[in-house]
Amino acid sequence: MTTADWPQADIDHMRAALAEAELAASEGEVPVGAVVVANGHVVASAHNCPIGSHDPSAHAEIVALRRACETQSNYRLSDATLYVTLEPCVMCTGAIAQSRIGRVIFGAYDEKAGALGSVVDLSDSKALNHRFEVNGGLLAAESRQLLQSFFRARR
């Protein structure tokens, strides 16, 4: 799917996730950003912060889900969409399933650790107690470029 095929709201929300990823990079964190949208409104946003927070679970998706649950006063986000710049890993996919997110849209595919199609696809796994819609590749080039630039600079 090309960018032109995506609804403008999805593009706008992914751009907000990219802005979060840029914040992560500026803090020396792997540049991944996430935004949670419910009823057309951003209810939470976050970026990777495991290094600064000394927390291996502080991936952008998990931090954004925690904040969204607080904002919504509910640990279930069944009517929400998670936008994330990189395909979620196994840990994050588990958190996504536990939150009952309705839809996940991600940017770049993660050929090393992606759990929504690249390495494994847990979105329809019988091992998880919740199914959710998944769409990948939105602004993938921008997401990938941000990651590549970050890692190139660190080498």
Q: Which tens digit of pLDDT belongs to each residue from 51-95?
A: 999 999 999 999 999 999 999 999 999 999 999 999 999 999 999
Sheet containing 133-136: give its strands across: 41-47, 33-38, 80-86, 103-108, 133-136
Q: Which of 61, 111, 133, 142 is catalytic?
A: 61
**pLDDT (tens digit per residue) in 127-142:** 888 899 999 999 999 9
**Is 61 assigned a catalytic role?**
yes
Q: pTM (2 decimals)? A: 0.96
Question: What backbone torsions phi and psi does residue 82 show, to the nearest 5 degrees?
Answer: -105, 125
